[in-house]
Structure 1
C-alpha cells in the first residue's frame, strides 16, 4: 500500500519507512507530490497530526499518514510542545535545530538546577481518506532529562539535549538502530503497526 507522509522531513521519512517496511507499506512525501504543508493550529499533537493527515489525503486522493511530535519539558509547563520545530522563532530567533536547542537552555536557566524531566512525544495518525471517520491514532512517549549542554552528533532536533538515564547517553549518541527500537516514534509506530494489521488488515 502506498501512503502519503504528511511531512517533507527526509530523516523522519527514513525512520518511519524502516518501521513500517515489514507491512509492505511504501511512504511517499507530500512534497514529492507537490502538496503544500498543512496548517497546524491546534494545541495538541493528536489534533495537528489528524489535520495534517486529512490535508494530505484530500490533496492526493491516497491514504495518508501524519506524525506530529516534539519535546515537552515539565519545568516549562510542557513547552516547547507542538511548537518544538519552531520554538526559537517565538523569541525572535531563526528556525533551526541549533537555535531551538539554545533557546530551550536559555528558558531553563531560571528554572533551577535540574535535572529537568522531559519527554519526547509522538502522535501518529493514519486515514484511508480525507473524510475517514475512524482514523488510526497511536501515541508514543519517551521519558528523559534535559542536559545542560549538547552531547552527540547523531539524530536531529533536540536529540543532543535529551538524556536517557537508563541508557546513560543522549539520544544523539545512540545508533540509528537503537533509536528506532526505543524512541517515541518507534513506540507510536509499534502501536500503529498493530492497528494496521487488525483494522486495515495489512501485512
Structure 2
C-alpha cells in the first residue's frame, strides 16, 4: 500500500500527549465529534518512533501549536495537542506554561510535588487573594491546512489542602464557586466547566470542517 493510500484510509487522529488521563478526558469531550467524523483518537504513544516535542514556546498557544504540528508531520495524520496550566493571580500568572514542571520533579511524584510547592508558596496568602484559574490552548494540525488554535478558561480560588481524586495535576487544589475542587466533580461535571472542555468544544467545529 502506498503512503498516500494509507493516509486516506487511516481514520486516526493523534493526540500529542503521553498522559493517559488526558487521552481519556479528550475521548469523552470529543465523543460526538469522533462519532460524526468516523475518527478514532489515539495517543502519540501508539507511534514509538515519534520523539518528544520540546515545549519551547512562551505561551500556551505556541506550545500547543508546536506539539500538534510536530506530531502531524511525524505521523502524516491529523494531530491534536493542548497546552494548559494554572495561572495564580498573586504569582503574576505563574506557574503558567511551567505548571507541569513547577517543582522540578518528574515521574509519578510530579503532581504531588507541584501541589505541595504551590501550597507552601501560598501558605500565608489569605483566601481573598488566592484567585486562580486554568488556561488551555487546543490546536488542530492537518497537513496542507493552517493550524487552528482555540482557548478555554475556568476560574476559582486555591484551597489550603488537596481534595478529591477525580482529576490530576492541580485539580485537587482549584476550588469552584460551588465549594468543590475540580477533582471533586464527576468526569461529566468537570468536562462541562473545565478549561480543556471549553477549548476542545470550541475546536469541535474546526475538526468537523477539516476532517468530516
Q: Normalising to structure 2: TM-score of the pair?
A: 0.86
Residue 14 of structure 1 corresponds to which residue in structure 2? 24
CA distance in 1, matches of 2:55, 2:211: 30
2:17 is the alignment partner of 1:4: no
| Bigger CA radius of gyration | 2
Given that residues 38 and 55 in structure 1 are in contact (C-alpha distance below 8 angstroms), is that contact kept between their aligned partners in structure 2? yes
Residue 96 of structure 1 corresponds to which residue in structure 2? 110
Within the candidate set 147, 150, 163, 2:175 is matched to 163
Shift of 1:75: 0.6
2:76 is the alignment partner of 1:61: yes
Given that residues 78 and 140 in structure 2 are in contact (C-alpha distance below 8 angstroms), is that contact kept between their aligned partners in structure 1? yes
Within the candidate set 117, 128, 137, 2:142 is matched to 128
Given that residues 69 and 147 in structure 2 are in contact (C-alpha distance below 8 angstroms), is that contact kept between their aligned partners in structure 1? no
Q: Normalising to structure 1: TM-score of the pair?
A: 0.90
CA distance in 2, matches of 1:37, 1:13: 16
Shift of 1:114: 2.7
Residue range with higher mean Cα deviation, 29-38 or 51-60: 29-38
Task: Report the RMSD for the aligned CA atoms in angstroms.
Answer: 1.5
Within the candidate set 85, 91, 104, 1:76 is matched to 91
Shift of 1:154: 1.7
Given that residues 61 and 139 in structure 2 are in contact (C-alpha distance below 8 angstroms), is that contact kept between their aligned partners in structure 1? yes
Runs of 4+ with >6 A deviation: none
CA distance in 2, matches of 1:169, 1:184: 16
Residue 50 of structure 1 corresponds to which residue in structure 2? 65
Within the candidate set 56, 68, 78, 1:41 is matched to 56
Describe the superposition over 1:12-56 as per-residue Cα deviations: whole angstroms up to 9, x where unpaired: 001111111212331111121112210001110000000001110
Shift of 1:195: 2.1
Residue 123 of structure 2 corresponds to which residue in structure 1? 109
Describe the superposition over 1:87-125 as per-residue Cα deviations: whole angstroms up to 9, x where unpaired: 111xxx556111000011112235x31341111111100
Given the superposition, is the C-alpha separation of residues 42 and 121 from structure 1 closer, same or farther in structure 2, using an over 3 Å criterion? same
Given that residues 6 and 37 in structure 1 are in contact (C-alpha distance below 8 angstroms), is that contact kept between their aligned partners in structure 2? no
1:120 counterpart SS class: strand
